[in-house]
Chain A
Amino acid sequence: MNPVMLRLIVTRVAVSLLTLWIVSVLVFGATELLPGDVAQAVLGQAATQDAVAGLRAALHLDQPGWLRYLIWLGGLLRGDPGRSLVNQLPVTQLIGSRLPNSLLLAALTAAFSVPLALTLGITAAVKRGSLYDRAANLVTVGVVSVPEFLVATLAVLLFAVKLHWLPALSSVRDIHSVEQLFRSFAMPVVSLSFVVMAQMARMSRAALIGTLDSSYVEMAVLKGARPARIVLRHALPNALGPIVNAVALSLSFLLGGVIIIETIFNYPGLAKLMVDAVSTRDMPVVQACAMIFCAGYLLLTTLADIVAIVSNPRLRYR
C-alpha cells in the first residue's frame, strides 16, 4: 500500500459516504416531503380530526421538513429508525427478523452463481467466436434483457412444473436437515442466480477478452506458448482485477432481483417486508429498508472500485 493508492481509496470511500448522505436526503424527501398526508392515509378517511392531529403530532408531521429530516437521520444513526405505522413494532425488530433470511438467500446465490458464471465467462472468452461462445452470448443477452420475474417464472415452469426436480414454493421455517435446506432454497436460489449469472458471465468475458487482446499475450502466442498456459499464466492474473470488479458489480444486481424473487416465492426476507410496507404505506419501514438496500448497493460498488484500484499494478509499484 503506497500513498497514491491510499489516497485514491480514501477518496473513493469519501465519495461513497457523500453519496449515501445524498441518498438519505432523496429517500426522506421522496417519502416525507411530497404531497400526501401519511397520517390521513394510515388512519383512513373515516378517522376523526383529533385522531389525525394526534398521529400527526406523534409522527412530528407538524414540524418543518428539515427538522424532521434531522430527527429521522439522528434516529437512523443511533440505530433507532422508529416504529412501524401499521403494527407499532420497532422497525429494528421487523428488520432484524427478516435481514438474516435475505442475507442467507444472497449468500447461497453468490456461492452458487459466482463459480458457474466465471467458468462460463472465461471459457466463452477463450473460445471467442466459436459456436459455444455465440450460444452463450445469445442466452446471456436474452436473460439480461428480460424482466427478472420472467426468468423466475420460466425457471419455476421448467424445473418445478415440467421436470419435477424442485418444489415450487419455499418455506424457511422447519428446516432440520441439509436436504430440506436444499429443497426449500433451490428454486429461489436458482432463479436469482440466472439473473446475476448472465451479467457476471458477460462482464468477466469482456474483461478477459480485453487482456487477451493485449500485445504481451500476442507475444506469448508468437513465442509458441501453449493455449492453456497463455490463459492461466499470462492473461488471467492480469484480468483478475477487472473480473473481481465485474463480480462485485453483478452482485449489486442481486438487489433488484431479490425484490422480485422474494415476492414470487413468498420468501420472508427484507425485500418482501419492503414491498408489503409500500402497499400499506408504512413509511418508517420503507425508509429503513430503502436505506439498507442502498447502503448494501453502495458497499458492493465501492468494493468493486477499490478492487480495481488495488489490482492495478501501475498504482501498486509507484
Chain B
Amino acid sequence: MSGTVASARRLRLPITGAIGATVLIFWLVVAVVAPWIAPYSAGHVASPDVLGPITRAFPFGTDYLGRDMLSRVLLGARITVGVSLVATLLACLAGVTLALAAAARGGWLDAVLSRVLDAVISLPSLLFGLVVVASLGASMGVLIATAAVIYTPGAYRTARALAVNINALDFVTVARARGEGTFFIMREEILPNLLLPVLTDFGLRFVYVVLLLSGLSFLGLGIQPPYADWGSLVRENLEGLVDGSPAVIMPAVAIATLTIAVNLLIDNLPTRREVGDGR
C-alpha cells in the first residue's frame, strides 16, 4: 500500500487534467455549501420578469416563474452531484465486490454472474430506467437504486478482467498455498492492485450516471418537484429555448462542465505502467 501512496505523490497532472480536477472540485464544494451561498431559496419568486435575460441582479437570468436561476443551478448541483455520487458508489461497490468474488472463486459463481450481468448490460440504460420508473414511480430511492443496478455490470466487467489477471500471479498462488481464505485473498492480495484502474472506472461510471439521471429528469421521469436537478431545470425552462433564454442554457452548460471535467481528469490520470507498480 505504501508504494501506492508514494507514487500518488509523484503523480503529475497535465494541464487539461488539472482543469478537469479544478472544475470537479468546484462542483463538489458547491454541492456541499449551496444552501449557504445561494442568493435566494429554491422556491423564492424573485422577479416579475419570467425567463429573463442575464442581469447584474440575476447573473444566470430568471426561470419560467421568475425565480433566480443562479440559486436554482447551485442548489441543483446538490441533487445532481449527490444522487449520482451515491448511485455510482453503490454500483462500483457491488461491481467490484462481485468481481473479486468471481475472480477469487472462479467456477460456477464466475460463470453465472458473468452471464446474468451481460444480459443487463445489453439493455440500453435509458430504456431500463424508463421501464423501472414506469412500475415503481420516480422517487429518489428508486432512481438511485436503478442507476446503481444499471451500472453494476459495467463496473463488474472492468474489475473482473483486471482481477482475473492478478489472480493468476504468483503472489496470489503463494497466498493460496499458505491456506488463506477467499475473503483474505480478495481484500489483501487482489484489491490493493486494482485501486487505480477502479478509480478511473468510477469516474467513467459517474459520468454515465449523471447523463442517465439528467436524461430521465429531462423527460420528466426523474427527480420530481419540489426537488430539481439540472436535468429538470432544463426541462421546466424548455419553452425559453426559442428565445435563447439563459434559464435553459445555464443548467445544460452546468451538466456539460461537470461531465467534461470528469472525462478530462480520468483521461489524464497516470496509467498503471507510469505509476510503476510492477507488471
Partner of B118, one of A19, A32, A156, A157: A19
Q: Is there an interface contact between A157 and B249, defined as CB atoms closer than 8 Å?
A: yes
Residues of A within 8 A of B234 (CB): 149-150, 153
Interface string of B251-274 (1 = CB under 8 A from A): 010011001101100010000000
* Other-chain residue from A26, A281, A293 in contact with B134 (beta carbon distance below 8 A): A281
Contact with B along A243-285 (1 / 0, CB 8 A): 0000000001001100110011000000000110111010100
Q: Does A131 contact B (CB under 8 A)?
A: no
A31-B134, A146-B260, A150-B256 are contacts. A297–B211 as well, Cβ < 8 Å? no
0 or 1 for each of A136-153: is its CB under 8 Å from B? (1 = yes): 000001100111111001
Query: Given A259-B127, A294-B124: A141 and B263 within 8 A (CB)?
Result: yes
* B241→A290 contact, CB < 8 A: no
Q: What are the residues of chain A within 8 A of B135 when measuring CB–CB? A: 30-32, 34, 36, 38, 281, 283
**Interface segment, B40-48, B71-79, B86-94, B216-224?**
B216-224
> Which residues does chain B contribute within 8 Å of A255, judged by CB atoms?
124, 127
With beta carbons under 8 angstroms apart, the residue of A19, A23, A149 that contacts B215 is: A149
* In-complex Cβ contact of B241 among A36, A161, A283 (8 A): A161
Q: Per-residue 0/1 for B4-47: is the Cβ within 8 Å of any A Cβ (1 yes, 0 no)?
A: 00000000000000000000000000000000000000000000
B130 interface hit (Cβ, 8 Å) = yes
What are the residues of chain B within 8 A of A298 when measuring CB–CB?
Answer: 122
Q: Which of A22-45 contact B (CB under 8 A)?
A: 22-23, 26-27, 30-32, 34-36, 38
Whether the Cβ atoms of A150 and B122 lie closer than 8 Å is no
**CB of A201, distance to nearest CB on chain B (Å):** 16
**How far apart are the CA atoms of A263 and B234 in the complex, in Å?**
13
- A178–B9 Cα distance when bound, in Å, is 63
Q: Is B140 an interface residue (CB 8 A)?
A: no
**A34 to B145 Cα, complex, angstroms:** 14
Assembled-state Cα–Cα distance A283/B234 (Å): 28
Is the C-beta of B164 less than 8 angstroms from some C-beta in chain A? Answer: no
Alpha-carbon distance A207/B249, docked complex (angstroms): 35
Docked Cα-Cα span, A302 to B20, in Å, equals: 36
Collect the chain A residues with CB atoms within 8 Å of residue B127's CB: 255-256, 259, 290, 293-294
B238 cross-chain contacts in A, Cβ below 8 A: 153, 264
Contact between B132 and A30 (Cβ–Cβ < 8 Å)? yes
Q: Is the CB of B260 within 8 A of A142?
A: yes
Q: Are A146 and B125 in contact (CB under 8 A)?
A: no
- Residues of B close to A263: CB separation below 8 A: 218-219
B124: contacting residue among A35, A157, A286, A293, CB under 8 A: A293
Judge if B104 is at the interface, Cβ distance under 8 Å.
no
Nearest CB of chain B from residue A46's CB, rounded to whole Å:
19
Assembly CA distance A96 to B262 (angstroms): 42
Complex contacts, B126 vs chain A, CB 8 Å? 256, 259-260
Interface size on B, residues (CB 8 A): 44
Residue contact B259 to A146, C-beta cutoff 8 Å: yes
What's the Cα separation between A255 and B130 when bound, in Å?
Answer: 13
List of A residues within 8 angstroms of B263 by Cβ: 141, 145
Is the C-beta of B1 less than 8 angstroms from some C-beta in chain A? Answer: no
Would you give the shortest CB distance from B104 to chain A, in whole angstroms?
26
Interface assignment of B174: CB less than 8 Å from any CB of chain A: no
Residues of B within 8 A of A142 (CB): 256, 260
> Any chain A CB within 8 A of the CB of B111?
no
Q: With contacts A19-B119, A145-B207, A145-B260 known, is A279 near B136, CB below 8 A? A: no
- In angstroms, Cα B248 to Cα A262, docked, is 18
Task: Please tell me if the beta carbons of A157 and B244 are within 8 angstroms of each other in the complex.
Answer: yes
Is B154 located at the chain interface by the 8 A CB criterion? no
Chain A contacts for B231, CB-based, 8 A:
147, 149
Bound CA span A255–B116, Å: 22
Smallest CB-CB separation from B257: which chain A residue?
A146
A307 CB–B CB distance under 8 Å: no
- Considering the complex, give the chain B residue whose CB is closest to the CB of A144: B263
Whole-angstrom distance between the Cβ of B16 and the nearest chain A Cβ: 10
- Give B221-242 interface residues, CB cut-off 8 Å to A: 221, 231, 234, 238, 241-242
Bound complex: CA A298 to CA B127 (Å): 13
User: Contact residues of B with A, CB < 8 Å?
Assistant: 116, 118-120, 122-128, 130-137, 207, 211, 214-215, 218-221, 231, 234, 238, 241-244, 248-249, 252, 255-256, 259-260, 262-263, 267
8 residue pairs, one from A and one from B, having the closest CB atoms: A22-B119, A278-B134, A146-B256, A145-B263, A150-B252, A145-B259, A149-B218, A31-B135
23 residue pairs of the A-B complex, CB under 8 angstroms, read A19-B122, A32-B135, A141-B263, A142-B256, A142-B260, A145-B211, A153-B238, A161-B241, A161-B243, A168-B241, A252-B124, A255-B124, A256-B126, A256-B127, A259-B126, A260-B218, A275-B219, A293-B124, A294-B123, A294-B124, A297-B123, A298-B122, A301-B122
Interface residues of chain A, those whose CB is within 8 Å of chain B, are 19, 22-23, 26-27, 30-32, 34-36, 38, 141-142, 145-150, 153-154, 156-157, 160-162, 168, 252, 255-256, 259-260, 263-264, 274-275, 277-279, 281, 283, 286-287, 290, 293-294, 297-298, 301
